[in-house]
Structure 1
Amino acid sequence: MVFKSDEGFKQIEQVLSTNESLAKDLVKKTKAIIVFTVKNKQSETKHWKLDLKSSSPTLKRLDKVETGDLNISLNDLDFKRLVDGKANSQKLFLSGKLKVKGDLTKASSIESILKAIKPKAKL
């Protein structure tokens, strides 16, 4: 399975594990478990769970989708573009490319979370 979003998820995981102050700040602001479902061009899917509720935030790959406080579905390339800062979550949502289930107030924090954890270097 080839996913362009894998690198973005690896970077999110790395930033959460190496930047403790940022991780604590994201937990304080978000207080949610976010489950991402990403689909590639071959219609294969991957599921990722971003735990921004516990004192030690984590990101892990799931074998099957779980229900979080917020469940986000989008295609692989759109996720990569979102992490790269080349796409806007609100525009993706309004165009139907980003689907959200759960606490919609938490959905507004998606872009700020991705900007906060995005490293200075390009993906």
Structure 2
Amino acid sequence: MSDVEVDGFNASPLFKELVTALQDDGVRQKAIKGVKAVLVLTLKNKEGKEQSWILDFKNDGSIKKVDSIPKSDVQLILKDADFVKLANGKANGQKLFMNGKLKVKGNMMKATALESVFKSVGGRPSAKL
């Protein structure tokens, strides 16, 4: 199991895929240029367990799971299942936000930049934030 995977979270393979894609220097540089922010994703799975990941697209283009919420430009809080739908292009971030299923703390514009990262992971429909 990689350092971004967490048992019981359907988002784990997506984070692992993103980490693999970010090994490519071109993809990583594009993500950093496109987002220019440190994002924290806090997901809650169906068992009610919470897990956070820090996506550093300001400095080094890395993703790590974290136990406590670090300082970031923006934090996105949503259910694991909703994040998976969002990342796969099957859910709309604005609708999730309007329906109270997506909470954003911090810079809302930085949250929308995350869409470009999912696009650059190739082969996936884009996540609309």
* TM-score normalised per structure 1: 0.88
Match of 1:80 in 2: 84
Distance in 1 of aligned mates of 2:95 and 2:62:
27
Match of 2:19 in 1: 13
Distance in 2 of aligned mates of 1:12 and 1:109:
15
Compute the displacement of 1:116 (Å): 2.0
CA RMSD of aligned residues (A): 1.6
Distance in 1 of aligned mates of 2:115 and 2:92:
7
Distance in 1 of aligned mates of 2:111 and 2:89:
17
SS at match of 1:112: helix
SS at match of 2:56: strand
Contact 1:83 1:115 in 2 (8 A): no
Match of 1:28 in 2: 33
Letter of the structure 2 residue corresponding to residue 24 of structure 1: Q
Distance in 1 of aligned mates of 2:95 and 2:71:
24
Contact 2:35 2:114 in 1 (8 A): no
Matching of residue 3 in structure 1 with residue 6 in structure 2: no
Letter of the structure 2 residue corresponding to residue 8 of structure 1: L
SS at match of 2:13: helix
Letter of the structure 2 residue corresponding to residue 49 of structure 1: I
Aligned length: 119
Residue 114 of structure 2 is aligned with which of 101, 105, 110? 110
The percentage of aligned residue pairs carrying the same residue is: 37
* TM-score normalised per structure 2: 0.84
Distance in 1 of aligned mates of 2:91 and 2:116:
13
Match of 1:60 in 2: 64
1:51-89 deviation line (CA, Å, top 9, x unaligned): 0011x3100010222231010100000111111111111
